[in-house]
Every structure is written in C-alpha cells, then in structure tokens.
Amino acid sequence: MLSLLDKFSYLVIGPSSQARSNRQRLMRRLMRPAWLGTLRRTKPLSDHWGYDRGTPVDRYYIECFLEAHRSDIHGHVLEIKDSTYTDRFGRNVARQDVLDIDPGNPHVTLVADLAAADSIPADTFDCFILTQTLQFVSDLSAAITHIHRMLRPGGVLLCTVPGISRVERAYSATDYWRFTPAACSLLFNDVFGAEQVTICAYGNVLTAMAFLTGMAAEELSRRELATRAEYFPVTIATRAKKREVR
C-alpha cells in the first residue's frame, strides 16, 4: 500500500519512470488478458505429438505441402522409413524404394546413413520424399550433397524440417537441429542453386503453441491453420530440383 507521502508525491510530481513502465505493462495485461485455460499446465496435453488426439499439427502441414506437389511424386521415388506418402500422394510411380539407417526395418530396401550414402548410385531417383529427417543428421552438408547426387537430372527433393518443435523423446540423443527458412536457403541453395529451390514456412503463434502442447490439427480451424506468420515457423518445406542436363 502507498503511504500518504507516496500518494502525495505521485499526484504532485507524477510517477517515476519505473512506476510508469510498470503501470503501462499492467494496462497492457488488462487490455489484452491471456486466458490459457487448459493450456496452463507444465505437461503437454499429448506426449505423442497429438497422434492420440488426431493429426499432429506438423503432419497437417507436411501433407498440405505434399498435396501441393503431387505432380513431382512420380517415376522412381525414394522415401525415408516407409512408403506411406509415396503410396498416398504419388502419381504414375514406376518404382519405389525406402531408405533407412536401420537394417531391421521391415520396409527398408536401401540401408545407408544419409550423410554417408556412397553405396546408393547417382542419378537414380525422380523424387525423394524426405520428411522430418534432417534434424537427426549430424553432417547436413554431406547429406544434402548425397541427396543431390542421388537425384536424376530434373529430379525433385520434397523435404520438410521442424522449426518450432519439441524434442523427439525416442531419439533425444541424436535430435540435433531446428531450422529457419534462412537456414534452409543456406543449405540447399549452395548445392542445388538458388533458382532451383523454393522454400515455404507453415505456422503461426497459435499453431506453434498448439503443436508444442500436443493439440491435434482437428482442434483448430482451417483459417487458424492456414494463417502464416514468418516469425513462428512450425514446419519448413523445401522443394529443390536438380538441374536438367542440356
């Protein structure tokens, strides 16, 4: 409580700069209150990225990206871990391969570390679907060089990486990176050429909070999901095309 002297000083000479600053902050909180509701918690709503509630927010964005580039998924297609997205989004797929570092994966047809994939022939694939993988690769430059080498001239890489994301519990010891559009430009432009690379960031402050806490995409409106805010990228998608031989 203010003393009579403090109140008198406030009325006569006004508040100090610190007091004015505190009052301004208070007024902002009162004018724009933050109602967290069920999100006021220190544990997420889902510990499984939102799969147990519906579609994870990042997967919604990944699928929007792949849907927009269906025409690139054709011919000989390579995918990581399994062929789910090739089967779902592919058009005129003549052959499909699955790459994994784990030889025990029952879906795998090619076993290799993406950063040391010398065993995979060059100029082989028309499309490489690479979703949410590069964050687990320690040598990003080597991986992107191999990706470029494996694609046929005119082949397309469809790659997604996390921007704002929790750490993958099962692979926390090797979950190395989070990305920005600028980082993706730096990584891919150097190998593919800037004119061959298109980068798109999905997300906003609401979908970022929803994703971190484990809400499902179904709990947000299409308008909320579609809004993009460049400073809150949840998922960053890159389309990179290998130059065709003339």
pLDDT at 237 over 80: yes
CA atoms within 13 A on the CB side of 154: 7
11-45 pLDDT, tens digit per residue, is 444 557 888 888 888 888 888 887 878 888 899 99
Token duo for residue 134? 């590069």
134-169 pLDDT, tens digit per residue, is 999 999 999 999 999 999 999 999 999 999 999 998
Confidence bin at 108 (pLDDT 50/70/90):
very high
pLDDT at 7 over 50: no
Q: pLDDT at position 14, please? A: 53
Mean pLDDT rounded to a whole number for the chain: 92
What's the average model confidence in pLDDT over 47-57? 96
Higher pLDDT, 25 or 1: 25
Going by C-alpha positions, the residue among 219, 153, 146, 141 that lies closest to residue 187 is 141
The ranges of the chain annotated as CATH 3.40.50.150 are 37-241
Predicted TM-score (pTM) of this structure: 0.89
Contact yes or no for 111/103 (Cβ under 8 A)? yes
pLDDT at 1 over 70: no
Q: pLDDT at position 5, please? A: 45
* The Cα angle at residue 230 between residues 46 and 175, in degrees rounded to 5: 45
H or E element at residue 87:
helix 84-89
Q: pLDDT at position 107, please? A: 97
CATH value of 37-241 in 3.40.50.150, 3.40.50.300, 2.10.70.10, 1.10.3720.10: 3.40.50.150
